[in-house]
């Protein structure tokens, strides 16, 4: 099957300004992400940025890159603009690979694209992994998802969901209740282009504004989101300087 990967690479990151151009080994972070996306089955990989420095760097290492409006509130808005620039058909599948995921496995890029194609009633396909540590459940930076039996998302939250009333009634949060499924959402998405055009026309809803989770805008509009267990472990992305140093050490140790 055919699909396109679009990599939003925003220079003006709040926590780590200039993040796409920070080096890992001898290459900028965005080049690592681009190379991994090219190792997937995507027919086309495009980087989307609002910054001339990122644009020039991407051109230097041979990437296809699009300049986008600096005023976009989200990566999804940036994706939609690129899809429009490239004149992609409404039924084409686009996978959003974040520009701060230098360790993203190509397998999961393929997985979300295939999953969306296999579920025509879904507007979005994404992934999750089981949570095994109580600390993760109570970490607001780890987004939890509750998944229905048919594989569709019921809700995403920064809060510890589902809440086991009996287990947590004694204020013991050190262990997870047995038999209760806890899933951490992995922020990789596949969309159809027609959905992207719809999405950017919707105002953020109350749930999205409260939780600061963009996927809740789709749920509030009645869009179905398919969620599957990631086929392979997905390493964390780079949000902070400490994250960057950890990735540098890991890839240096691997000889990459």
Q: What is the pLDDT of residues 142-155, one digit of tens each?
A: 999 999 999 999 99
Distances (CA, A) of 94 to 14, 65, 195, 220, 225: 26, 15, 10, 22, 15
Instruction: Specify the pairing of strand 153-157 against strand 144-147.
Output: antiparallel
Checking if the pLDDT of 47 tops 80, the result is yes
Q: 162: cis peptide before it, omega within 30°?
A: yes
Query: What are the tokens at 25?
Result: 């080994």
Euclidean distance between the first and the last CA atom of the chain, given in angstroms as a whole number: 30
Output the average pLDDT for the chain: 91
Q: Enter the pTM of the model.
A: 0.91
Q: What is the pLDDT of residues 184-232, one digit of tens each?
A: 999 999 999 999 999 999 999 999 999 999 999 999 999 999 999 999 9
């Amino acid at each position: 099957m055919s699909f396109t990967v679009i990599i939003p690479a925003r220079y003006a990151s709040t926590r780590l300004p200039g993040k796409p151009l920070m080096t890992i080994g001898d290459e900028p972070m965005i080049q690592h992400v681009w190379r991994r996306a090219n190792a997937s089955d995507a027919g086309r990989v495009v980087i989307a940025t609002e910054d001339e420095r990122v644009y020039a760097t991407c051109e230097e290492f041979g990437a296809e890159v699009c300049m986008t409006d600096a005023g976009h509130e989200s990566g999804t808005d940036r994706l939609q603009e690129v899809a429009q620039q490239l004149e992609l058909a409404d039924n084409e599948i686009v996978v959003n690979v974040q520009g701060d995921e230098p360790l993203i496995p190509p397998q999961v890029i393929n997985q979300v694209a295939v999953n969306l194609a296999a579920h025509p009633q879904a507007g979005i396909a994404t992934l999750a992994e089981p949570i095994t540590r109580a600390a993760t459940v109570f970490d607001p930076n780890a987004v939890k998802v509750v998944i229905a039996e048919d594989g569709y998302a019921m809700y995403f939250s920064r809060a510890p969901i589902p809440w086991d009333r009996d287990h947590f009634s004694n204020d013991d949060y050190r262990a997870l209740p047995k038999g209760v499924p806890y899933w951490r959402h992995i922020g990789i998405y596949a969309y159809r282009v027609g959905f992207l055009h719809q999405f950017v026309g919707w105002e953020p809803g109350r749930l999205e504004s409260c939780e600061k989770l963009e996927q809740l805008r789709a749920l509030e509009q009645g869009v179905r989101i398919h969620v599957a267990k990631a086929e392979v472990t997905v390493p964390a992305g780079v949000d902070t300087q400490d994250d960057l140093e950890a990735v540098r050490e890991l890839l240096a140790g691997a000889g990459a």
